[in-house]
Chains A and B, each alone.
Chain A
Amino acid sequence: MEEHHLRVNGATHSVTCDPGTPLLDVLRADLQLAGPRFGCGMGLCGACFVIVDGHARSSCDLPVWAAQQSEITTVDGLAATGALHAVQQAFLDSQAAQCGYCTSGMIMSTVALLAENPAPSEQQVRNALEGNLCRCGTHQRIVAAVLAAARRLAAEAAR
């Protein structure tokens, strides 16, 4: 058991746990964030994706000790001001979910993509989401939502 300091959604948290504890478990159990979901525990499905220093990645296979120096964002932290983030709003507008279990991870991959490439092509969107699985087959709507979010963010930036 060791004390770890984490920067999550703009705040610093300290948690005492085994250094090998997966970040996902710390986020869900200690920080009580429901957004990152457990799907596979092996970095294979994307349900647990969070943004770590600007990159979307799995939190289920990232030991907490390795996440200490990083800035971490989860889907729970996107609507900090109360209003939905443009990407969340676009997912809602496109009704881009069926069960919605993959949605948190999809949104985090999208936020990271658009920060790096504000006007992706459809192919670039698909490539960026390659690590996110959706069993319900909502892919087409998700791609549409990402492209709509890019347009929305561009319009916001132009204002």
Chain B
Amino acid sequence: MSAPTFPAGASTETQPAAGLPPTLAANPRLARWLGFSADGVVTIHSGKVEYGQGVWTALAQVAAEELGVSLSRVVVAPVITSDSPDEGITSGSRSVEESGASLRQACAQARSLMLGVAAVTLGTTAERLVVEDGQLTGPDGTAVTYWSVLAAHPGLLERDAGEPVPEKAMGSWSVAGRSAARLDLPDKVSGRPRFIHDLRLPGMLYGRIVRPPAPAARLAGLADPCLPPGVILVRDGSFLGVLAGADREAVQSAALVAKAARWEVSETLPDCDDLASFLRNAPAETVVVGEHRDERAAASAATTLAAEFTRPYIAHASMAPSCALARWDSGSLMIWSHSQGPFALRDAIAAGLGLDPAQVVVQHAEGAGAYGHNGADDVALDAALLARAVPGRPVRVLWAREDEMAWAPYGSAMLARLEAGLDAAGTIVSWRQDVWSGGYIGRPGTGGQPRLLALSHIEGGQPIPAALDGPPTGAIGSTRNAVPGYDIPDLLITRHRLLTMPIRTSSQRSLGAFLNVFAIESFMDELAAAAGRDPVDFRLAHLRDPRARRVIEQAAGLADWGARPRSESIGYGIGFARYKGVAGYCAAVAEVEAEYDIRVRRLWLAVDVGRVINPDGVINQVEGGAIQSASWALKERVRFDRTAITSVNWDTYPILRFSEVPQVQVRIVASPERESGAGEVAQGPVAGAIGNAVAAAVGVRVRDLPLTAEQVGRAIEAG
């Protein structure tokens, strides 16, 4: 198979109106965003996908608000690449900001068009119409509805968005800005079919994949697996899969194939217990991602501190193994996938299989929670490869739990070396931060490469190229949040991205911010101690931004910082960051008990994420982010030997359980600023707060994640 190339995006023919939100400008046709069906329903089409973060509900609220219809009338259509607006990847906490802005403007334009028509029908002016739940009433009491207007003018929304029209002011919101129950939960508490795993198509076959036993392995031979009659074996190079009439038969057949396969395996993995050496010594590309110099200030340093912080590889470990369906019909390929980027997946599959993207359609279906680039895209190609053997028949592939843990990309291990100078008054005058990491940008399409797992296994396939880190703006990839948000006159931040990838890495919730903020916030406490200052006061002394100060003050207030009785083995710590340096603000306080084990008992968080569409949705996201961050910080670590991943199920990759989960209290700090997303704001600050609370509880600084009793013991020994 020749090296796949990646198609360029389609060019736009006419210029969109100036001032439109970017994804509306790129997909200007109004009918692409919303439609009205005869039964009084409004269907909205977004390019963003739901994966448990509640984005559908928030977007439905935006549309209901702007149109003036009740929320119960709004239905969100699943993304399908042949129809939905292309809004790129659903990631980076940008969905409400991007898709919300486009939908809001599309709805505002649709509303104004429909009001214009209604005014003529009712013999009045648009300004004099009263809109209530989709009914437009004139001064004389006569009325039409959006639905009746569109029945009479069916082509009304078949036009491109024009000049931006005014949107409803936040002060007059009645649906947006208020907590709304999630639209998807009734199905989920009832156990109704809702997930891609529940999708059954007529004539469907069940596929399973037999993965190699290690990241670097080659199929050296395959004996006759003696499969039951009717079971189909698909082999392409080192890619092996089976197809059967039932999943249980596919599972048994896959086990037979696994037994019959002989693999050549190479030792390519680093030493799991010395990742710092691996990171420091692997070939890397070094770039400066943040710099402003003030040599006079730097020269005023009276004390200089330095420290190194590390994190291991962390797995997404979604509750459900990845799943996809595919069907080939005379040269065209239909895919059902829970990918976070259906459009990029379409293009990557087309490139990988040598098809025109126009031959491939990807329809989104919900999966379990996703926290970055997991196996969703890879399993879609697996399904396509198996489906190719049975044209016309739908094929469903489900990964084994063990493959989900071992083959989905990880968040990369990282090393951060920090050095800072304090002047005689205890003010930070200089800061150096060097970050060593595998790349965090490795989704399908990155760098023009499809980057789908099976493409590295099929005949002639090449290993997936090392993940990238994006342009050196400081906010992207492994150096996300590597530039401290504090006022520091002399600053130099450097990224060392690994050029080899023995262990596959890609994006994971908050990217490098989890380690960078953990390191920065730990180091801030070390500097505060050196300066003889309280950690909260020390941070405030280096922050002028009022929104930053407010979240710190509020989190400290919630936790009763300073007034809490200190005792043996209980410690409190604070952590803060503005996500990406430009998005939501979050401060967290942790209470840690370190008796026999390290326990986080409570977390208090204050967040400012700009305008909020669904307050309860934001709190849910922040609580979840905080608990997941606590789990990463306290327990999580992918283990491996020199050939293979050994963390392959929940017993070998433990996460936080009910008895270990802290109580979390979240306060939203009200703000009229632009929406900025809540899904990732908590990851870094919570880790920083926990690290500082552990240090306060045990009296030594633990700089290597996860913060287990074992690591504490090691830090005590070293210190």
Interfacial residues, chain A to chain B (CB-CB below 8 A):
17-18, 21-22, 25, 29, 32-42, 44-45, 47, 74-76, 78-79, 84, 88, 91-92, 95, 97-104, 107, 125-127, 129-130, 132-141, 143
B320-A38 in contact (CB<8A):
yes
Whole-angstrom CA separation of A76 from B368 in the bound complex: 19
A95-B181, A126-B658, A130-B659 known; A101-B320 Cβ under 8 A: yes
Known: A103-B189, A127-B659. 7 other contacts (CB 8 A): A22-B248, A37-B320, A76-B190, A95-B185, A126-B658, A134-B319, A135-B628
A6 CB, min distance to chain B CBs, angstroms: 16
Task: Return the CB mask of B178-217 against A: 1 if under 8 Å, else 0.
Answer: 0001101111111111110110100000000000000000
B303 CB, min distance to chain A CBs, angstroms: 39
List 30 A–B pairs whose Cβ atoms lie within 8 Å, in order of A's numbering: A21-B248, A25-B247, A29-B246, A32-B200, A33-B191, A35-B191, A36-B191, A37-B320, A38-B321, A39-B319, A42-B401, A42-B651, A44-B651, A47-B319, A47-B320, A75-B189, A75-B190, A76-B192, A95-B185, A98-B369, A98-B621, A99-B51, A100-B184, A101-B195, A130-B659, A133-B319, A135-B319, A135-B628, A137-B623, A137-B661
Whole-angstrom CA separation of A22 from B248 in the bound complex: 9
A136-B248 in contact (CB<8A):
no
Partner among A47, A97, A127, A139 whose Cβ is within 8 Å of the Cβ of B182: A97
* Nearest neighbor of B629 in chain A, beta-carbon distance: A137
A92-B189, A134-B319, A135-B318 known; A98-B198 Cβ under 8 A: no
* Nearest neighbor of A87 in chain B, beta-carbon distance: B189
Most buried by B among A39, A107, A126, A137: A137
B73 CB, min distance to chain A CBs, angstroms: 20
B198-A34 in contact (CB<8A):
yes
A88-B657 in contact (CB<8A):
no
The reply to whether the CB of B473 lies closer than 8 angstroms to some CB of chain A is no
Interfacial residues, chain B to chain A (CB-CB below 8 A):
51-54, 181-182, 184-195, 197-198, 200, 246-248, 317-321, 366-371, 398, 400-401, 616, 620-621, 623-628, 631, 649-651, 655-659, 661, 663-664
Neighbouring B residues of A127 by C-beta, 8 Å: 658-659
B interface SS class: loop
A38 CB, min distance to chain B CBs, angstroms: 7
B54 CB, min distance to chain A CBs, angstroms: 7
Most buried by B among A36, A98, A138, A143: A98
Neighbouring A residues of B655 by C-beta, 8 Å: 133, 135
A interface SS class: loop
Partner among B184, B401, B625, B664 whose Cβ is within 8 Å of the Cβ of A41: B401
A63 CB, min distance to chain B CBs, angstroms: 12
Whole-angstrom CA separation of A102 from B624 in the bound complex: 14
Neighbouring A residues of B620 by C-beta, 8 Å: 95, 98, 138, 141
A137-B627 in contact (CB<8A):
yes
Neighbouring A residues of B367 by C-beta, 8 Å: 99, 101
A-B interface pairs (CB < 8 A), number: 167
* Nearest neighbor of B404 in chain A, beta-carbon distance: A40
Neighbouring A residues of B197 by C-beta, 8 Å: 37-38
A34-B192 in contact (CB<8A):
yes
B643 CB, min distance to chain A CBs, angstroms: 23
A29-B247, A38-B321, A101-B369 known; A84-B193 Cβ under 8 A: no
B210 CB, min distance to chain A CBs, angstroms: 16
A98 CB, min distance to chain B CBs, angstroms: 4
B624-A38 in contact (CB<8A):
no
A34-B185 in contact (CB<8A):
no
A135-B317, A135-B318 known; A91-B189 Cβ under 8 A: yes
Partner among A34, A75, A95 whose Cβ is within 8 Å of the Cβ of B194: A34
A137-B624 in contact (CB<8A):
yes
Whole-angstrom CA separation of A91 from B190 in the bound complex: 10
Most buried by A among B626, B656, B661: B661
* Nearest neighbor of A101 in chain B, beta-carbon distance: B368
Whole-angstrom CA separation of A98 from B185 in the bound complex: 8
B368-A84 in contact (CB<8A):
no
A129-B190 in contact (CB<8A):
no
Neighbouring A residues of B621 by C-beta, 8 Å: 98
A98-B52 in contact (CB<8A):
yes
List of 9 A-B pairs having minimum Cβ-Cβ separation, nearest first: A35-B191, A99-B52, A137-B627, A100-B188, A99-B369, A101-B368, A137-B624, A75-B191, A44-B650
